Amino acid sequence: MCGIVGYLGFQDPKKIIIDGLKKLEYRGYDSAGIAVVDKGQTKRIRAAGKLKNLEEKLINEHFSGHLGIGHTRWATHGAPVEKNAHPHQVGEISLVHNGIIENYLDIKKDLIARGAKITSDTDSELVAHLINEEIQVTKNLLLAVQKTLGKLIGAFSIVVIWEKSPDEIIAFKDGPPLIVGVGEKEFFIVSDVQAALQYTKNFVYLEDREVVHIQNNEIKYFSALGAPLKKQIVQVDWNTEQVEKMGFKHFMLKEIYEQPRAVAAAIRPHLNTETHQVEMQTLGFVKSNAEIFKSIDRIMFVACGTSYYAAMVGKYLIEQAGNLPVEIDVASEFRYRKPIVPKNTLLITISQSGETADTLAAIRLAKEKGALTLSITNVQKSSIDREAHGHLYMNSGVEVGVASTKAFTSTIALLNVLALQIAKDRGVLTADQEKNYVTQLLAVPSQLEVVLAYDKYFSEAAKKLQEFKGFLYLGRGVSYPIALEGALKLKELAYMHAEGYAAGEMKHGPLALIDSNMAIVVVAPTDELIEKTISNLQEAKARGGKIISIGTGENAALQSMSEYYLSIPASSWMAHPLLSVVPLQLMSYHLADSLGYDVDQPRNLAKSVTVE
């Protein structure tokens, strides 16, 4: 979603804010703007489109102040045009906002009745009006903000500056993340730590309806009602290198190539590399992992998008290996369908960002219903991570490309570990099976290197895909969610119509779609279902469908019926998804790139979806 950077310090705010916004641009990118308090006046410059449009406008602009705010916008209210870009300025007040003010219609009506002149179509400008009204009376920014906060309903994070007070900045939130970076005599208020990581490693995470007030190098935190709060500084150990492209054309490509390392970083803390046993680190529950896994009756996974497909893989792994019932749900459905969460349920959320609004709402609802909760996140201390009882980390490093890749494989690797640990603790895994699965899992990082070495074949296959009008992605068992994920990657990157199907469902409708314009991408590593999948492909081929298949090693049967055959190394069925998804990621990447699309920032999408 939108990116926010606020700065108060001794350096040039233009540089700090633009550098920060560049790191956040991947979150939302239809317009951008900056406002700096310079010699008692607000200088505000905004531009529609990419951040580079704003940079061009700023080339000859020099600011002497040291207080400013900046924003990259992903439109919610109002078209992505300059008048709707942030910062919004009303009188002496300027602010940037991420999220939605739900009661904006009531606020707008009241403001108009009081004679306010509204210049944009946004809900954000209305908040600037409210604070500006208050400041005329109170002449105190903190009081004006506190009074305004009480009038807002919705999900928002907001940073405010006042041109009469060049050493003061205030921020507050209820929903989307807002984090304070604490440097030496300088402060950063950002929607994501990446925006300030090159200046400080010390961060304070604001909780909902908290206010941070920084003035004359003093930082204070308050509750919405004005009670002073003590907050803890958290050290973030990501380095800035992890957020650079490191010579790759796109972040997405770099992140695909980082998968061997990312998967290793996810699983190593939980596996004994000498004995090849699973030894899952503590999840941070009051009880031990084993006590929890023995006592639960079911697992419910809740997540969105690619994370939901990872959850789907988790269902196959845990039910099949651990003999424990698993339910899965997309968070936007779960949170509104009055879900039944029986006693002894472990509810697991999966979220790379840890900030997805629907997933956050789902975990809160599950807690209200008495569930024990575990979060699998990449971003530590994110809202979902902080909400959960137990925690499991992907350890993938920063994922910048909007389309999730390494977070997906890291999660599936962790779900392998989780399924094996559950199976072991519940007594349904023999020592031999354990050793065998762990050995195969530990081999995955180097097998991923092998798959990546075949990139030129995936890029050739991608050229072939351009000819087709539609795509069916098929798979069975653990490969079914991978088919869904492959179709999603094609849709979001190459803007082509693709559907994922369970291969056995073909006869129940989709077969009618098949002709020579339809490509069938099948995920078919060798497992106990391979023969059935091959029969389904015969049916499709007989009707003119063109097949692109992913199989294990040299699979002659698959090879003979496919236009393109992409090979992955042999592995356990549990680890198949980790290998088979990579050709799908790379085919979509190359196809989108060859069509000239913006791979890292696909149209209409944002990385961290902090509004529902």
Query: Distance between alpha carbon 99 and the CA centroid of its chain, in Å?
Result: 16
* 352 touches ligand F6R by CB under 6 A: yes
Distance of alpha carbon 172 from alpha carbon 208, whole angstroms: 8
Distance of alpha carbon 327 from alpha carbon 317, whole angstroms: 12
Closest to ligand F6R by CB, 76 vs 353, is 353
> Is residue 87 reached through a cis peptide bond, with omega within 30 degrees of 0 on the bond before it?
yes
* 404 touches ligand F6R by CB under 6 A: yes
Question: Residue 40 carries which DSSP code?
Answer: T
Q: Is 607 a catalytic residue?
A: yes
Distance of alpha carbon 406 from alpha carbon 396, whole angstroms: 7
Q: How far is the CB of 602 from ligand F6R (least distance, A)?
A: 9
Residues near 399 by Cβ (< 8 Å), separated by ≥ 6? 255, 352, 378, 405, 406, 407, 607
Closest to ligand F6R by CB, 26 vs 480, is 26
Binding ligand F6R by CB under 6 A: which of 72, 191, 289, 351?
351
* 551 touches ligand F6R by CB under 6 A: no
Map residues 296-315 to x or -, x wherever contact with ligand F6R holds by CB under 6 A: --------xxxx--------
Listed in sequence order, the DSSP H helices in 268-337 are 289-295, 305-322, 331-334
Closest to ligand F6R by CB, 306 vs 416, is 306
Pairing mode, if any, of strands 372-377 and 390-393? parallel
Distance of alpha carbon 476 from alpha carbon 360, whole angstroms: 30
Q: How far is the CB of 307 from ligand F6R (least distance, A)?
A: 4
Distance of alpha carbon 589 from alpha carbon 575, whole angstroms: 23
Closest to ligand F6R by CB, 5 vs 606, is 606
Task: Assess contact for 169 and 160: CB atoms under 8 A.
Answer: yes
The alpha-carbon radius of gyration of the chain (Å, integer) is 26
Closest to ligand F6R by CB, 311 vs 438, is 311
Q: How far is the CB of 354 from ligand F6R (least distance, A)?
A: 7
Task: Identify the CA nearest to 200 among candidates 218, 216, 182.
Answer: 182
Could you identify the residue written with the tokens 């050229």? Answer: 463
Q: How far is the CB of 103 from ligand F6R (least distance, A)?
A: 26
Subset of residues 483 to 502 that bind ligand F6R, contact rule: CB under 6 A: 488, 492
Task: Assess contact for 195 and 21: CB atoms under 8 A.
Answer: yes
Among the listed ranges 3-11, 161-169, 349-357, 440-448, the one in contact with ligand F6R (CB under 6 A) is 349-357
Closest to ligand F6R by CB, 43 vs 406, is 406
Binding ligand F6R by CB under 6 A: which of 107, 116, 609, 611?
609
The residue sitting closest to ligand F6R, measured at its beta carbon, is 305
Total number of residues that touch ligand F6R (CB under 6 A)? 15
Closest to ligand F6R by CB, 271 vs 348, is 348
Binding ligand F6R by CB under 6 A: which of 353, 375, 409, 601?
353
Task: Identify the CA nearest to 455 among candidates 253, 199, 201.
Answer: 253
Task: Identify the CA nearest to 363 among candidates 379, 343, 345, 348.
Answer: 348
In the chain the first and final C-alpha atoms are separated, in Å, by 11
Distance of alpha carbon 407 from alpha carbon 66, whole angstroms: 37
Closest to ligand F6R by CB, 491 vs 532, is 491
Q: How far is the CB of 261 from ligand F6R (least distance, A)?
A: 19
Closest to ligand F6R by CB, 122 vs 351, is 351
Q: How far is the CB of 595 from ligand F6R (least distance, A)?
A: 18
| Backbone phi and psi for residue 436, each to the nearest 5 degrees, phi listed first | -65, -50
Q: How far is the CB of 28 from ligand F6R (least distance, A)?
A: 13
Distance of alpha carbon 520 from alpha carbon 483, whole angstroms: 10
One of 2, 23, 173, 254 is an active-site residue; which one? 2
Q: How far is the CB of 433 from ligand F6R (least distance, A)?
A: 31
* 356 touches ligand F6R by CB under 6 A: yes
Among the listed ranges 7-15, 345-353, 472-480, 519-527, the one in contact with ligand F6R (CB under 6 A) is 345-353
Q: Is 304 a catalytic residue?
A: no
What single letter denotes the amino acid at residue 427? G
Task: Assess contact for 555 and 565: CB atoms under 8 A.
Answer: yes
Determine what percent of the chain falls in helix, strand and coil, rounding each to the nearest 5: 40, 25, 35
Q: How far is the CB of 115 from ligand F6R (least distance, A)?
A: 42
Task: Assess contact for 395 and 262: CB atoms under 8 A.
Answer: yes
Binding ligand F6R by CB under 6 A: which of 98, 165, 345, 359?
359
Distance of alpha carbon 459 from alpha carbon 588, whole angstroms: 9
One of 22, 173, 315, 607 is an active-site residue; which one? 607
* 409 touches ligand F6R by CB under 6 A: no
Q: How far is the CB of 465 from ligand F6R (least distance, A)?
A: 18
Subset of residues 172 to 211 that bind ligand F6R, contact rule: CB under 6 A: none
Task: Identify the CA nearest to 432 among candidates 269, 267, 423, 265.
Answer: 423
Distance of alpha carbon 133 from alpha carbon 147, whole angstroms: 10
Among the listed ranges 235-243, 353-361, 366-374, 591-599, the one in contact with ligand F6R (CB under 6 A) is 353-361
Among the listed ranges 30-38, 89-97, 119-127, 348-356, the one in contact with ligand F6R (CB under 6 A) is 348-356
Closest to ligand F6R by CB, 37 vs 256, is 256
Judged by the rule CB under 6 A, the positions of this chain that interact with ligand F6R are 304-307, 351-353, 356, 359, 403-404, 488, 492, 608-609
Catalytic residue numbers, as ranges: 2, 607
